Structure 1
Amino acid sequence: MEFPDQEQVDGLLENRVQESMADVQTDSEEHAAVGKKHIEEEFVGGSLAPAHSLWTTDARGSVRLRIEEGCPEEPITVHQMFKASVEKYGHMHALASKKNNKWEKITFLEYYQLCRRAAKSFIKLGLERFHGVAILGFNSAEWFFSAVGAIMAGGIMTGIYATNSPEACQYVASDSKANIIVVENQKQLDKILQIRDTLPHLKAIVQYSGQLQQKLSNLYSWEEFMELGLDVSEKQLDDISSSQRANQCCVLIYTSGTTGTPKGAMLSHDNITWTANHASRAGDMQPADTKQESLVSYLPLSHIAAQIYDLWTGIQWGELVYFAQPDALKGSLITTLREVCPTSHMGVPRVWEKMMEKIKQGISQSGYVKKKLVTWAMSVSLEANQKCMQKEEEKPLLLSLTDSLVLQKLRAELGLSCCQKFFSGAAPIGSETVQFFLGLNIRLYEAYGMSESTGPHFMSGPNVYKLPSCGKVVPGCRYKMANTDSEGTGEICFWGRNIFMGFLNMEDKTREALDEDGWLHSGDLGKIDEEGFLYITGRIKELIITAGGENVPPVPIEEAVKKELPIISNAMLIGDKRKFLSMILTLKCCSNAETMEPTEELSVEAVEFCQQQGSQATKVSDIIGGKDKEVLQAIQEGIDRVNSAATSNAQRIQKWTILLKDFSVSGGELGPTMKLRRPVVLEMYQTVIESLYQE
């Protein structure tokens, strides 16, 4: 792909942006002077499409926005948000891609122009209003151009997980009525070619990386695609963009299907633009005219967490986004982080765990003196950070010394030497991981939300931090706890401008998620303390109800086992409608660098655990089947310690077994964001589970 030089950037475009922004600024000033009632009246005739309900399941539908005193900002479309950013940050760098071992950067003005070119090409290919543009591949500048361009052209953008099977791709493309599918390479193209004949709405396929290996009708290289729409007029595109309304759908986020058929969560322009603005404020992200943030994009953009964090917040605040290599999660991420030195970084819990394992491995291979020094420095940091949780509290001098002499070097090994904000999301993070990073003087800020809440609804940040909570509700959003018990634990319910429009073509599922008053029911259990911090205690659907009627939340017990036993990778509690609880365990293993399949070889940490028990085991098969009595005895003792803290006998683990292979995305036990797919595991290991309950 060729990026235009700054001199080649169309002057006419710059004038158009200036004129448009003058209009937006005038509108803003007028709206600032009127009250909420008048704003709503004006929106009905102007910025918003007519709507009578808070939800819809129709891709062409519109919804009433939850505009109230806490969040009175004027609703804007994605296109309007981008134009405002070009006005402020136009000549600052926006995106950086590695080509021929060099980082190539483009500005926000160039970024905007390339999105417009993509939009015009989508129009030329016959993209119909409110039909899908599906994107299947790893993060790249072309992914961003396709996403924004699809919306500018009046389509609905949806990401497809790169790990999806052809059948899973077919479901999303068919459900979203995709007119165009953008694929990364031949591997992803092959999936679409297998299902092409089952997609009646499909008009074209575009491949954005690598040479086309075959000439097929309606298959285009990226270069060919970007040339297609050159004869589409600027006015035609502007007319389509300006006809869009903030309360109409522009993005589909498909749930990963951990509990059944994937559901397409419909997100409006206002969902995207409002959340990009407000959630990032809660995380203390800075606008580029104050201090430009930089980050590395590597998590799946089909998931709401990465999409909000990398793409939409990047546009809103003028961030510089570097694209990692496609093998980032196979090991190259840290190399990229070291080159880029981002100011902010987000990971799912498994990414933070992998970093923790890498540092632990480095420490274990160090000499005696260095090992002692690092262990001491980390204990100083952990203790100091646990004592002064609030930002305003002064940190002790000893921490400053150990940080500059020891810990800073460890953070630099991870590429986090310049990083000031560290976020974790998409799944609950274990306390062991949080404590380990506190030992590196890194506070992991946990965010909590759903696809249906456009990402974060509660957030931790530099000014809102308390362990082991996921922070406070994002300003402008609300929450309530439904069906609380005597201890104040109940189902967490959401309200705000970030709440989705509904599930595409699924009225029953939408009515399950949204109650009659429009509150989104999360399905998660939690409690709020007196300061407003949220603590997740479990998930309603994950609750195990034993044969004796005892309600058991599995996650706290599973986390306790992993904390007691550093050899354990995954622990899953079993016992629904059973007489007692049992548990299936997997051991920490090395992964195949190419396929990411877990191997039989134990990880460094697991081998260390075995050696501490007097065992020489290096493989899973050395341990299971009663072969390694020392290790099995140590695991039983760890389970016993967890059982000793159980609130009742019904919450004790009576039996357990170790599986030969660790869970993985490729194996199907974990979803794309490393979340445990409990129904899948129950089905896959049904025989193993039944054996635990045979007398």
Structure 2
Amino acid sequence: QQLRDFTYATWRMDKEPVPGFSRELISKESEALFDRTNVDELHALPFEGVDTLLKGFRRLGQRLPNLDFLGTRVGDKYEWITVRETIETAEFLSFGLLDQGLIPEIEAEETLYRFLAIQSKNRKEWILFYLACMMQKTTNVALYDTLGADGTKYVMNQTRLSTLALAKEQIKNLLKLKKEDAASEEPKMGLLQNLVVFEEDVSEEEKTECQNLGLTVYTMAQVMEKGKEVKAAGEVTFHEPEAEDVYMLSYTSGTTGDPKGVKLTHKMVLGAGYACLIRITKKCTWDHNDTIISYLPAAHSYEQGSIALSMINGMRIGFYSGNPLKLTEDMQILKPTVFASVPRLYNRIFGKIQETIKSMKGMKKMLVNKAVKAKLYYEKQGFYTHKVYDALVFNKIKQLLGGKIKFMSTGSAPVSGDVLSFLKICFGCEIYEGYGMTETSAISTVQLFGDAGVVGPLFNVKLKLKDIPDMNYYSTDSPPRGEICFWGPSVMKGYFMNPEKTKEAFTEDGWLLSGDVGEIGPNGSVRIIDRAKNI
């Protein structure tokens, strides 16, 4: 049996707790970085001088310019563009967007912003516009289908949006929204004037309909061509972002009320990504030899974490073909090494494998059941591979996800321990559980290798518990229980243009209220046990 240390965090003893709250919980990894930061700052850079995501990506471009970076499925293979090609294309786009007046400055919250909305399924063009925004200190307003019609109109109105970059398949729905909005008593999309379409083959009918609604249609190729002309003329302009700049508004679509725009800064997401790397790379390398499959919505913070890690460490990003039903087919062609997912999909994979096993007969079924029983025994000891049984049984199952997976993660909702244990032995690797919020840059607590059912704070966040007398949860309980509160450089400063909701989200001394009830173990682990309120 492996000797494993599952110490996550310790209580801070040099500072008395605020009445009604626990002491502060400090990650064990924070203490190891106190030569670079301190307990009231918790900020450290992944590389010297790299304080924005763009600087991290430019550093990658200097180190590995010819590395395949963005992959698109074409038939039964993936076609790639390199880091150098990605940077060059994004630069041309950024010059073109600026030259054509597609990202005008507006004032909001006593700050000058530039906004560009992006709406599509995950694909290389999404990332190219995302990078182009960074190069001109422009905030990406990430739209997604489940925002719904009212949510989309609300976001466009709040950001005074003038330009939307989108896939051709989104035009029909956009025109429907624009018509409805124009006919309403209180139009919210009146400032939207420009569409930049990824594809070149926009129909004349769609162009005419856009024109009738006051929309000018550009293609991505046209904007890039303008950017090339600007560069050729030597009139290049970069607006370099700073660490505290908001690179993206990530709108949370709550069950009630209007969407809230979480202001994600470079500092927040870069720090969260680095903190995650420190936790994970104790047991697993993440670098340019790895490939991720990008299919979780790029507009959401969970996928933003994966994208940020790829930009920092050079993991290749292969995009799914756009059809969720073909995800396993995409993975069998791409052969990713890293797979981030959610409980719903893990449950589906679990069910599919279980059905296959149940349909087996005779000696084959006996062998598989024996292999499962043996590997589940060793899984409890922290071993996920078995030389004999992997060769006879599990290597075939691994092919379902391409056969190369070495790291898996789950977040966004609870998942059964039995499901995770079974999938670990099937794919021969750890499945890391994480817990966080869009407001904490998604990644804020992660389990240690070999542990299960609990998580612990990463180095760049502190936790404390808030008493909930109405629910009989107190930080003085044994073990301590209460509403989880976060503090740290990866925690948002507030919601865009929404001081009321921002005030509701924080304690008086500036700690973010999660809405989740946690229980703190003696080793500093965190277990989610309830909801503090209905959101």
Which whole-Å deviations, capped at 9, do the CAs of 1:449-500 have from their partners, x for residues lacking one? 1100111100125xx341211x321123221122225231111111222111
Q: Which amino acid aligns with 2:457?
A: V
Distance change (3 Å), C-alpha of 1:207 and 1:500: same
Counterpart mapping for 1:564-643 below 5 A: none
Task: Give 1:367 shift.
Answer: 2.8
Choose from 440, 456, 481 the match for 2:443: 456
Distance change (3 Å), C-alpha of 1:281 and 1:439: same
Distance change (3 Å), C-alpha of 1:381 and 1:259: farther
Partner of 1:372: 366
CA distance in 2, matches of 1:258, 1:380: 44
Partner of 1:476: 460
Partner of 1:260: 257
Query: So what's the TM-score if we normalise by structure 2?
Result: 0.81
Matched, 1:511 2:503: yes
Instruction: Decide whether the 8 Å contact of 1:297 with 1:321 is kept in 2.
Output: yes
Instruction: Decide whether the 8 Å contact of 1:448 with 1:458 is kept in 2.
Output: yes
Partner of 2:239: 240
The secondary structure found in structure 2 opposite 1:79 is helix
Distance change (3 Å), C-alpha of 1:160 and 1:97: same
CA distance in 1, matches of 2:173, 2:339: 32
Distance change (3 Å), C-alpha of 1:364 and 1:287: closer
Q: Which amino acid aligns with 2:401?
A: L
The secondary structure found in structure 1 opposite 2:443 is strand
Q: Which amino acid aligns with 2:367?
A: L
Partner of 1:68: 41
Partner of 1:138: 121
Partner of 1:191: 173
Choose from 451, 474, 484 the match for 1:466: 451
Instruction: Decide whether the 8 Å contact of 2:464 with 2:484 is kept in 1.
Output: yes
Choose from 532, 551, 554 the match for 2:524: 532
CA distance in 2, matches of 1:136, 1:302: 8
Partner of 1:92: 67
Distance change (3 Å), C-alpha of 1:151 and 1:237: farther
Distance change (3 Å), C-alpha of 1:257 and 1:236: farther
Partner of 1:400: 387
Choose from 434, 456, 477 the match for 1:486: 477
Q: Which amino acid aligns with 1:232?
A: V
Which whole-Å deviations, capped at 9, do the CAs of 1:44-95 have from their partners, x for residues lacking one? xxxxxxxxxxxxxxxxxxxxxx972663776723322221121122221111
Instruction: Decide whether the 8 Å contact of 1:179 with 1:201 is kept in 2.
Output: yes
Instruction: Decide whether the 8 Å contact of 1:75 with 1:246 is kept in 2.
Output: no
Task: Give 1:194 shift.
Answer: 2.6
Counterpart mapping for 1:381-396 below 5 A: 381-386=375-380, 388-389=381-382, 395=383
Task: Give 1:236 shift.
Answer: 5.9
Partner of 2:32: none
Matched, 1:332 2:326: yes
Instruction: Decide whether the 8 Å contact of 1:492 with 1:525 is kept in 2.
Output: yes
Task: Give 1:163 shift.
Answer: 3.8
Which whole-Å deviations, capped at 9, do the CAs of 1:398-422 have from their partners, x for residues lacking one? x43222321121122232x211111
CA distance in 2, matches of 1:502, 1:489: 26
Choose from 311, 315, 323 the match for 1:315: 311
Partner of 1:166: 149
Distance change (3 Å), C-alpha of 1:438 and 1:82: closer
Task: Give 1:447 shift.
Answer: 0.9
Task: Give 1:233 shift.
Answer: 4.3
Instruction: Decide whether the 8 Å contact of 2:95 with 2:237 is kept in 1.
Output: no
Structure number with higher relative contact order (C-alpha < 8 Å, ≥ 6 residues apart) = 2
Instruction: Decide whether the 8 Å contact of 2:320 with 2:327 is kept in 1.
Output: yes
The secondary structure found in structure 2 opposite 1:257 is coil
Counterpart mapping for 1:536-555 below 5 A: 536-542=528-534
Distance change (3 Å), C-alpha of 1:539 and 1:225: same
The secondary structure found in structure 2 opposite 1:300 is coil
Which whole-Å deviations, capped at 9, do the CAs of 1:557-609 have from their partners, x for residues lacking one? xxxxxxxxxxxxxxxxxxxxxxxxxxxxxxxxxxxxxxxxxxxxxxxxxxxxx
Partner of 1:222: 220
Distance change (3 Å), C-alpha of 1:211 and 1:364: farther
Choose from 397, 415, 420 the match for 1:410: 397
Partner of 1:587: none
The secondary structure found in structure 1 opposite 2:298 is coil
Choose from 81, 93, 107 the match for 1:118: 93
CA distance in 2, matches of 1:70, 1:439: 36
CA distance in 2, matches of 1:319, 1:211: 32
Instruction: Decide whether the 8 Å contact of 1:458 with 1:472 is kept in 2.
Output: yes
The structure having more radius of gyration, on CA atoms, is 1
Instruction: Decide whether the 8 Å contact of 1:266 with 1:502 is kept in 2.
Output: yes
Distance change (3 Å), C-alpha of 1:91 and 1:489: same
Distance change (3 Å), C-alpha of 1:128 and 1:276: farther
Instruction: Decide whether the 8 Å contact of 1:75 with 1:274 is kept in 2.
Output: no
Instruction: Decide whether the 8 Å contact of 2:516 with 2:530 is kept in 1.
Output: yes
Instruction: Decide whether the 8 Å contact of 2:335 with 2:404 is kept in 1.
Output: yes
Matched, 1:286 2:289: no
Which whole-Å deviations, capped at 9, do the CAs of 1:500-548 have from their partners, x for residues lacking one? 1210111111112122322111111111212222211121114xxxxxx
Identity across matched positions, percent: 24
Distance change (3 Å), C-alpha of 1:236 and 1:504: farther
CA distance in 2, matches of 1:155, 1:418: 37
Instruction: Decide whether the 8 Å contact of 2:335 with 2:405 is kept in 1.
Output: yes
Instruction: Decide whether the 8 Å contact of 1:132 with 1:173 is kept in 2.
Output: no
Q: Which amino acid aligns with 1:535?
A: R
CA distance in 1, matches of 2:384, 2:147: 49
Query: So what's the TM-score if we normalise by structure 1?
Result: 0.63
Partner of 1:295: 292
Distance change (3 Å), C-alpha of 1:166 and 1:227: farther
Instruction: Decide whether the 8 Å contact of 2:71 with 2:79 is kept in 1.
Output: yes
Q: Which amino acid aligns with 1:194?
A: K
Partner of 1:423: 409
Q: Which amino acid aligns with 1:111?
A: T
Distance change (3 Å), C-alpha of 1:102 and 1:400: closer
Q: Which amino acid aligns with 1:223?
A: A
Q: Name the count of aligned residue pairs.
A: 464
CA distance in 1, matches of 2:504, 2:322: 37
Instruction: Decide whether the 8 Å contact of 1:133 with 1:178 is kept in 2.
Output: yes
Worse overlay, 451-460 or 256-265: 256-265
Which whole-Å deviations, capped at 9, do the CAs of 1:356-391 have from their partners, x for residues lacking one? 1221222233233322222221121112112x13xx
Worse overlay, 529-538 or 70-79: 70-79
Which whole-Å deviations, capped at 9, do the CAs of 1:140-166 have from their partners, x for residues lacking one? 000000111122222210221234433
Worse overlay, 75-84 or 342-351: 75-84
